[in-house]
């Protein structure tokens, strides 16, 4: 296992973004790179299921990231990553990722705000604007604070283990996952995540299974999960997400996602998500892309004061520049 290549692959998998980051310093085994994006996102019709009063909800955002690495010894490298995001209408940057660690020949050990282990499985179907329903509980989520993570690539097998140490009593989280990539383009993965919900509350847990397949221009993915939101409150859930993508040519890619999740509290079932999404992405070049996405929301209508609050569809137009 080549340490530098593995570290680069794991860092790329941990965050979504551009591969265009510019190297601003490289000398004596130490490297510093800066990158980011500016992305216009305009939502029409509805926003998160609620009817938009006016014409458009502006969800424009900008991200800036810095990553560094330094060679300590032949089989030891230090690395760090930081990414912040600013949303339109705000003057503050929000930390998305912030971690530092060591890369060795047997895997990487990192500390800070980063993804929990299950994310490498949920990413098999988290491919569009409104996908990602498998991050159902905090122990299976991305961008989690106070995480100690081990991530190792062993030929075709990627293993991850994470532990989030909370400052609050009875609120620690943990997870473990494995993703095996066969040479025929088939990926098989599984993850288990769990943790405490706090003083006086129960425990959370999730089993997550995933499969991905790639053949030429076609990519397919499926994930299914089940578990407890809070076992003490008899609150359970299950979630299914299916994803497909087809690359028409160098510039154009079509994507589709189906997602459905359900909560069950003391035997009473309620849908928390039920949607289809169709999206088209056009890549002008390596830095600039545009997209349009339509989310067909199948949740039951909930009207408050004459306004839909849950089941409205969303049409999104986006234009993104990576640097």
Q: What is the pLDDT of residues 75-109, one digit of tens each?
A: 999 999 999 999 999 989 999 999 999 999 999 99
pLDDT digit string, tens, across residues 162-205 = 999 999 999 999 999 999 999 999 999 999 999 999 999 999 99
Give me the pLDDT at residue 53, please: 92
Instruction: Give the alpha-carbon dihedral of 139, 140, 143, 145, to 10 degrees.
Output: 10
Higher pLDDT, 118 or 5: 118
Give 34-84 as a DSSP string.
EEEEEEEEEEESEETTEEPSSS-EE--EEEEEEEEEEEEETTEEEEEEEEE
Q: Is the pLDDT of residue 30 over 80?
A: yes
CA 197 to chain centre: 22
Q: Is the pLDDT of residue 118 over 50?
A: yes
pTM of the model: 0.91
Give me the pLDDT at residue 4, please: 46
Give me the pLDDT at residue 51, please: 94
257, β-bridge pairs: 243, 277
The pair of structure tokens assigned to 281 is 């992405």
Give me the pLDDT at residue 17, please: 52
Cα(225)–Cα(135) distance, rounded to whole angstroms? 10
Give me the pLDDT at residue 304, please: 84
Nearest CA-CA partner of 297 in 280, 309, 284: 309
Query: pLDDT tier at 5 (50, 70, 90 boundaries)?
Result: very low
Nearest CA-CA partner of 39 in 18, 19, 56: 18
Q: Across the chain, what does the average pLDDT equal?
A: 94
Cα(274)–Cα(24) distance, rounded to whole angstroms? 45
Query: pLDDT tier at 2 (50, 70, 90 boundaries)?
Result: very low
Question: Strands 76-87 and 61-73: what pairing?
Answer: antiparallel
SS3 314: strand
Q: Is the pLDDT of residue 274 over 60?
A: yes
pLDDT digit string, tens, across residues 36-81 = 999 999 999 999 999 999 999 999 999 999 999 999 999 999 999 9
pLDDT > 90 fraction of the chain, expressed in percent and rounded? 90
Give me the pLDDT at residue 243, please: 99
Q: Indicate the length of the chain as a whole number.
A: 323
Nearest CA-CA partner of 178 in 121, 136, 246, 242: 121
Q: Is the pLDDT of residue 15 over 90?
A: no
CA 142 to chain centre: 6
First to last CA, the chain: 30
The domain segmentation of the chain, as residue ranges, is: 115-248+262-269
Query: pLDDT tier at 140 (50, 70, 90 boundaries)?
Result: very high
| CATH code that applies to domain 115-248+262-269 | 2.40.160.10
CA angle 148–100–140, rounded 5-degree value:
40
Give me the pLDDT at residue 19, please: 65
DSSP-assigned letter for residue 156: T
């Amino acid at each position: 296992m080549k340490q530098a290549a593995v570290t680069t692959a794991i860092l790329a998998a941990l965050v979504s973004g551009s591969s265009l980051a510019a190297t601003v310093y490289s000398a004596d085994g130490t490297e510093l790179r800066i990158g980011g994006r500016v992305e216009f996102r305009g939502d029409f019709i509805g926003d998160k299921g609620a009817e938009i009063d006016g014409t458009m909800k502006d969800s424009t955002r900008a991200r800036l990231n810095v990553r560094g690495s330094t060679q300590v010894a032949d089989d030891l490298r230090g690395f760090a990553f930081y990414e912040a995001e600013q949303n339109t209408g705000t003057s503050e940057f929000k930390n998305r990722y912030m971690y530092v660690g060591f890369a060795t020949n047997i895997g990487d050990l990192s500390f800070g705000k980063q993804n929990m282990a299950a994310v490498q499985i949920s990413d098999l179907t988290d491919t569009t604007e409104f996908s990602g329903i498998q991050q159902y509980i905090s122990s299976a989520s991305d961008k989690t604070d106070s995480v100690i993570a081990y991530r190792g690539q062993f030929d075709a097998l990627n293993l991850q283990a994470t532990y989030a140490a909370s400052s609050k009593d009875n609120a620690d989280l943990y997870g473990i996952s494995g993703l095996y990539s066969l040479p025929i383009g088939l990926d098989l993965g599984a993850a288990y995540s769990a943790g405490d919900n706090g003083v006086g509350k129960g425990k959370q847990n999730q089993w997550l299974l995933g499969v991905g397949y790639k053949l030429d221009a076609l990519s397919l993915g499926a994930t299914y999960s089940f578990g407890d939101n809070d076992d003490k409150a008899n609150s359970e859930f299950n979630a299914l997400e299916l994803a497909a993508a087809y690359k028409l040519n160098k510039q154009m890619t079509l994507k589709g996602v189906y997602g459905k999740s359900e909560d069950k509290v003391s035997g009473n079932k309620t849908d928390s998500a039920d949607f289809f999404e169709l999206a088209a992405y056009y890549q002008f070049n390596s830095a600039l892309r545009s997209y349009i996405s339509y989310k067909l929301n199948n949740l039951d209508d909930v009207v408050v004061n004459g306004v839909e609050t849950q089941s409205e569809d969303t049409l999104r137009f986006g234009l993104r520049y990576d640097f």
